[in-house]
Amino acid sequence: MDDHQDDHQNEDSRQDGPIRVPRDFDSLRSVIIERKAAMPKRLAQVAAYALGHPDEIAFGTAASIASAAEVQPSTLVRLAHHLGFDGFSDLQTVFRERLRDRTLTYEERLATLEQGSVADAEDELLTGFIAAASQSVARLAATIDRDVFSRAVELLAGAETIYLVAKRRSYPLTAHMAYAFGKLGIRHQMIASPNGIDAELAGFATPRDAAIAVSFAPYAAESIGQAQALGERGVPIVAITDSAFSPLSGCATHWFEVTEADYGGFRSLSASMALAMALPVAIAEKRRQRGRGGKAVAANRNGTNIPN
């Protein structure tokens, strides 16, 4: 039996019932992740390609996308039907809308906000951003795998040096971690040199070290390349990203999926920052318990904060 016959039989065997059709990219990504384990092989293959190359899905033809994903064009149609869409063009509109939203300039995003009721009240604008931040943190609290967090802390606490990899929107997260690591006496290295020696800095990392890499869609190519290069050299990686299909999840020893809400096209970093704040303190506490150094954080729990 070939793959296509097997795919059709697997599709026919799925349970009947109402299908929730995702109409925005974040919802679509969540649905694909929920169903990926049960997807036939070819559908999972093209779904992974779609989440990894959303711009190509938005702009490409069925033939060009199928060729790049190494499937038959009919597989694109079957995936669309599997997800509840009328056809591939219907599915493709979700990727085109994502691209339109993503490429808005900050001035255009402000104009979008002004079209709504927030134009008349700054407190509504503030409320919107607070709500997005609250939603992001609540989602992280409900979905984060505590066992993965514990294993990541164990790994990082044992590292000689922790390397930090992030660019663009993700950079504030590693910048805060670098600050916290410095205050907690944990050896670290930001791979973010102003004079273009990132590769040389990363070259010092060994399997005795570890790296924290952060990137969200659209993924920063430089961060992905640096993380993959570290992984190939045996450096353990803890990743913070936004999808099971993220390029970082494939090279990470442990990874966290963090989905941030947005308001008016401005995406929150609140949940990611909460995780970025928790990791250094948890690492320092683990080292204190081991007696390996790193300033003890027990005093912080008694009211002494990390110095500003």
CA distance linking residue 126 with residue 281, whole number of Å: 30
Strand order in the sheet with 188-190: 188-190, 162-165, 210-214, 237-241, 254-257
Residues, the chain, total? 308
277: pLDDT strictly greater than 60: yes
| pLDDT over 80 at 248, yes or no | yes
What residues contact residue 58 under an 8 Å CB cut-off, 6+ apart? 92, 95, 96, 98, 99
Question: What domains can you pick out in the chain, each with its CATH number?
Answer: 3-102 (1.10.10.10), 136-301 (3.40.50.10490)
What is the arithmetic mean of pLDDT over 32-36?
83
Kindly tell me if the per-residue pLDDT of 300 is higher than 70. no
Spatial CB neighbours of 294, under 8 Å, sequence gap ≥ 6: 184, 185, 186, 283, 284, 287, 288
Q: What pLDDT shows up at residue 101?
A: 59
Which amino acid, 69? A
Q: Judging by beta carbons within 10 Å of its beta carbon (0-12, 13-18, 19+), is residue 136 exposed, middle or buried?
A: buried
Cβ partners under 8 Å of residue 276, min gap 6: 173, 174, 176, 177, 214, 240
* One-letter amino acid of 155: L
**Spatial contact of 69 and 49, defined as CB atoms under 8 Å apart:** yes
User: With contact defined as beta carbons under 8 Å apart, do 242 and 217 qualify?
Assistant: yes
Residues 6+ apart with CB under 8 A from 26: 259
* Residue range 210-234: mean pLDDT, rounded: 92
CA distance 50 to 297: 44
Of the chain, the percentage scoring pLDDT greater than 90 comes to: 43
Give yes or no for residue 265 having a pLDDT over 60.
Answer: yes
Residue 242 has pLDDT above 60, yes or no: yes
Highest mean pLDDT, choosing among 4-13, 59-68, 104-113, 266-275: 266-275
User: For the whole model, what pTM was predicted?
Assistant: 0.65
What is the predicted pLDDT for the residue at 301?
A: 43
Residue 213: pLDDT over 70: yes
pLDDT for 252 equals 94
Each residue's pLDDT tens digit, 139-195: 899 889 999 999 999 999 999 999 999 999 999 999 999 999 999 999 999 998 888
Measured CA to CA, the distance from residue 70 to residue 163 in angstroms comes to 36
**Which of 217-221, 223-227, 248-252, 299-303 is predicted least confidently?**
299-303
